[in-house]
Amino acid sequence: MNNLDVPDNSWNRLEQYYPGDEWIDWLGVSVYGAATPRDSEWPEFRGLMDQVYPRLAALAPSKPVILAEFGVTSGNPHGDQASWAHRALADLSAFRWHRIIGFSWWNEAWQNDNNPAHNTNMRVQDNPALSEVFQKRVGKQDKVLGRAVLTNP
């Protein structure tokens, strides 16, 4: 599920795609900031997650949530990629949304047109400031990179 219902019609709300508790173990959602350097808005992760999380909690109150993918591009004049990620990871590691049990950064780059300045780049390894954020907020956080707890079925 994406955090936004696009198109925003009643038939396309994320709740319409939920098959029921008997079929689902975890809920997954993806939350994206600006996807290109030319996007005219710079939505903050917290605001986007604060909008969708109550809907997920109401949809399946007993299910954990995975942040299947989140990310924002570099090169957009409306915001800073590393700062955006820092704030997002700070909220995640503080358990602001307590049912989130895991996350994945959208670590990809792609060409949007023939102008290289318009290319999207979300790759951690291409932005030293973003890499530093991940090293600090993920790599050095026991609360984030704890040990997996394996249980027998």
Answer yes or no: CATH 3.20.20.80 is held by domain 10-139.
yes
Confidence of residue 152 (pLDDT cuts 50, 70, 90): very low
Q: Are 127 and 47 in contact (CB under 8 A)?
A: no
Number of helices (H), then strands (E), belonging to the chain: the values are 3, 5
Give 80-133 pLDDT, tens digit per residue. 999 999 999 999 999 999 999 999 999 999 999 999 999 999 999 999 999 999
Residue with tokens 């924002």: 72
- Note the pTM of the prediction, 2 decimals: 0.88
Give 43-71 pLDDT, tens digit per residue. 999 999 999 999 999 999 999 999 999 99
- φ, ψ of residue 109 in degrees (nearest 5): -135, 150
The Cα 67–Cα 28 span in angstroms is: 6
